[in-house]
Amino acid sequence: MTTPRFLYLCLSFLILTCPLYPEPKNVLLILSDDHRYDFMSFMEQSPIFLETPHLDRLAGEGAHLANAFVTTSLCSPSRASILTGQYMRHHRVVDNQRPVPAGTMFFPEYLQDAGYTTGYVGKWHMGHEDDTPRKGFDHWVSFAGQGTYFDPTFNINGKRKSFKGYNADLLTDQAISWLDQVGKPVKKQKPFFLQIGFKAVHYPFQPPPRHAKRYQGKKIDYPETMANTEENYLSQSNWIRERRYGIHGIDHMETGTLDQDPVPDFDELYHNFCETVHAMDENIGRVLNHLDKLKLTKNTLVIYLGDNGFALGEHGFYDKRDAFEESIRIPMLARAPGIIKPGTKIKEMALNVDLAPTILEYAGVVLPEKPKMDGQSLLPLLKGQKPTDKWREHFVYEYHWEWNFPATPTTFSIRTDHQKYVYYHGVWDRNGFYDLTSDPHERHNLIRVPAYQERIMELREKLFDELDSSGDLAIPIRRPKNEQFYDRKLRR
C-alpha cells in the first residue's frame, strides 16, 4: 500500500528535480557577408596566419557543416532564402535592389506566433536603401543598404541615430544590450530569437584601426587558377577570361588598375580581408562570452553562416555571383549543448534554405504547408541521427544577370557530391562541366569531352526539369533606369 509519506517524498523529488517552467529554447543566428568557407583558422585550407579563435570555439563545441552552400551567391537573394527557406525563384528577391514581394513570410513570424521574442541587429539590404523595421521582429536595429564600416547611422525601432566607431563593434554593443533585456532570469522567461547580420566582410574590406596592417607582409598562397595562362583558360568560357579586365577582375578594374590609388594591390586586398574577418571573429567572441555571462549558453542554439562565398584571385576574380566553388560554398557552424555533440563534422550537403526549417523544428514549431519551404531541417544531422528520408544528392544554383554588375551572365547550375554542370543563359559561349573529385579547383572544363556527354545531358535535363517543375523558367526582368544601361560609354 502506498503511504502518504512515500507520496510526499515522490512529490518533493519532482519539485526539486523538475523546474516549474521548461527552459526556453533560444536561438542566436549570426550571419556574415562574403566570408569564405575556408577562412577559419581550424580549417586546413585557411591562411596560416589568420586567427579566428571564436569561430574555432563554435566548431569545437558544436558542429562544422563542411559542405554548406548557398543557392544564390548574392547578398539579398541569399538573405531572403535564409529567412523564407525558399529558393530565389520562389521568393522572387532576385537582386540587391528589388523589394521583398508583398505577402512574403519570414520564419521569425512563426516564432513570434509560438511565443518567441524576436530581434534583428545588423545588415538587412533587401529593398536596397530601405532600413525601416520589418515584420517578424519585435526589436530592430539596421542601416541603409550596405552601410559603412565607420561611424554608421542605425535605425533603431524606427528612429535613426548616428554613432562613432566601427560598425561590427557597435552592432555587437546593440546585440548585447538586447540580450541583457531578454535574457534576465525570471520565473517564466520567454524564449528569444536574435539574428545578428554583420556588414563584415563585404568589399571594400576595412578592419578597425586596432587590426589594420595586422597581417601586412604575411605570405599568401596564391590560387592555382589565378595566373593568366592558357592552361587556366583554354577550356573555360570566354567570359571567364574576359572578366579579369573588368570590375572585380584582378588585372584591371573599371575603377582603375589594382596598383593605382585608392585601389589596393592584390596582397593588400587579401590582407585587409583577413584582418576584417579577424575583427568580426573578435565580436562573435564578445557575443558568445556574454551568453556565458548570462548563463544562456546551455539552452541557446547558435548558428553561424555566411550569406555567400567570395573569390580571392580564383579564375582572375575577386567577387561572388558565379557558380565556382569559392562563390557558392559558405562557412556554417552550429552549437547546442546537450543536443549537438562537440566536434561533430557533417559531410552531407547543407543549404542556406535549410536554416528556416532547422530553427523552426528546434523551437517545436510545425512547418507551414503554405508557403512551402524548399529546405530540409538539419536538426537530425546535428543530433547525429540518420534522416528518415534520403538526404539530398544534388542542389540547383541560380543567379540572374544584374545591370549594374554585368560581368557575370545569368547562371544556372546543378551540383552533386562529385560533379557540376553549369549553364550560362543569354551568352553565346560554352557552358561548364567539372569533375570535383579529380579537379577540385575547377581548372579543366570538360564540357566538350566526348566521354562525359551522356552524363552532361543527364545533369542538364535534371537541372531544367527541376527549374520547370513549378513554372520557374520565367525570369524576372528589371527595367533599366535613365542611361544606366543603354548609353554607357565604352572604355578603352
User: Quick one: three-class SS letters along 81-132?
Assistant: HHHHCCCHHHHCCCCCCCCCCCCCCCHHHHHHHCCCEEEEEECCCCCCCCCC
**Distance in Å from the first CA to the final CA of the chain:** 98
Torsion angle, alpha carbons of 35, 41, 46, 51, to 10? 80
Note the pLDDT of residue 473.
Answer: 67
Q: How far is CA 225 from CA 50, 228, 234, 299, 315, in A?
A: 22, 8, 12, 45, 5
CA angle 126, 127, 131 (to 5 degrees): 85
Q: Identify the segments of the chain with pLDDT beneath 50.
A: 1, 4-21, 257-260, 483-492
Note the pLDDT of residue 97.
Answer: 86
CA distance 132 to 373: 26
Asked, as a colleague might, if the bond just before 204 is cis with ω within 30 of 0, I would say: yes
Pairing, β 410-416 against β 432-435: unpaired
Question: Helix, strand, coil shares of the chain as percentages rounded to 5?
Answer: 30, 15, 55
Note the pLDDT of residue 57.
Answer: 98
Note the pLDDT of residue 8.
Answer: 32
What pTM value is reported for the model? 0.91
Strand order, beta sheet including 192-197: 159-162, 153-156, 139-142, 117-122, 192-197, 26-32, 300-306, 332-335, 63-65, 344-346
